[in-house]
Amino acid sequence: MYILLKAFWERVFNGFALLGTTIKVDQLLLTSSSYAVASVLIAFGAIIGRVGPKELLIVSIIQMVGYAFNETLVLESIGAFDAGGSMTIHAFGAYFGLTISLVIGKKIAPVTKPEADYNSNIFAMIGTLFLWLFWPSFNFGVFATTQFEQNQIVTNTLLSLVGSCLSTFTCSAIFGHKFEMEDILNATLAGGVAIGSSTALLYYPGVALVIGIIAGAISTLGFKFLASILQKKIGLNDTCGVHNLHGIPGALGGFISAIIVASYNTGYDPNIASKYGPANIFASVHGTFLHQGGLQIAGTVTSIALGIVFGLIAGVTINFFYN
């Protein structure tokens, strides 16, 4: 679906006559398709255990339409940078799934989440370790056009992940009086989500570490306090905590990228494009760095808004077909 829909929306925005009717299927397109699947899995985390195969099919179809549309709009029409998908993958997928959960909340009762045991935690930790180790390649390292850019992505992503680990363990011990497995299995990855939009834009490693520390702390506090508050106040059931791992860190990553890009106008390093040549990502900045910062904010807000819109459509559709 992504291969067809991505080609369709590109032709809607850029003209069918210009791009023609042939779709070039290559490694990059298949990799992008995998990222689209990741966004669907993020949304699934908000409603897992509450819907069946029929509902999941509806969710997947509607989300893929929205995902391809949002990605094309944000990256090509608006012109935002989102190397690791903080906006287009994480924020869109999370708020899409959360909106569905909220819409179906009254009609489909939440399923009681079973208590995790030792064996389930061990298997979950294995999954977390795989995600942690391979997150640099997930942050679009395959799309880097130069070795320098690829180095930036890998270095910044790993440092941000380290930062989120530091703050997760610290906050988990302080507020829970011990290391909580839910925090360790989730919030340690928040740094990888939050650094996504700025991982190819950032040239000071210390900043990447700080971004991870902030993301890990916010994610841990979200698991400990925010999730229960939202469930009690508005009836939001978030089975796997995607709001705290993907939603908030994804939105945070988009806004942080705006600050980083805009800071090039205020002495961060205004000559960065000339230093690293036209192959560098800053060679395609739209107008001034401040203007590009505004586009980063626009891309983040658009992704969240469209996630909610398409989530409403999917939720209402599920309620209509639910027996």
* Helix, strand, coil tally for the chain in percent (to 5): 75, 0, 25
What was the pLDDT predicted at 278?
36
Q: How far is CA 280 from CA 146, 194, 227, in A?
A: 8, 22, 40
Say which CATH class 2-321 falls into. Answer: mainly alpha
What was the pLDDT predicted at 269?
56
**Domain range list for the chain:** 2-321
- Ordered per-residue pLDDT tens for the chain, 323 residues: 999 999 999 999 988 877 888 899 998 899 999 999 999 999 999 999 888 898 999 999 999 999 999 999 999 999 898 989 999 999 999 999 999 999 998 667 666 665 667 788 889 899 999 999 999 888 876 677 777 788 889 999 999 999 999 999 999 999 987 888 888 999 999 999 999 999 988 888 999 999 999 999 999 999 999 999 999 999 899 989 999 999 999 999 999 999 998 887 655 555 554 454 333 555 556 667 888 889 999 999 999 999 999 999 999 999 888 75
Give the Cβ contact number of residue 78 at 10 Å. Answer: 19
Q: Is 105 exposed, middle or buried (0-12, 13-18, 19+ CB in 10 A)?
A: middle
If you ran DSSP here, which 8-state letter would residue 178 be given? S
CA–CA distance, 115 with 66 (Å, rounded to integer):
34
Give the Cβ contact number of residue 223 at 10 Å. Answer: 25
What was the pLDDT predicted at 323?
58
Amino acid identity, position 309: V
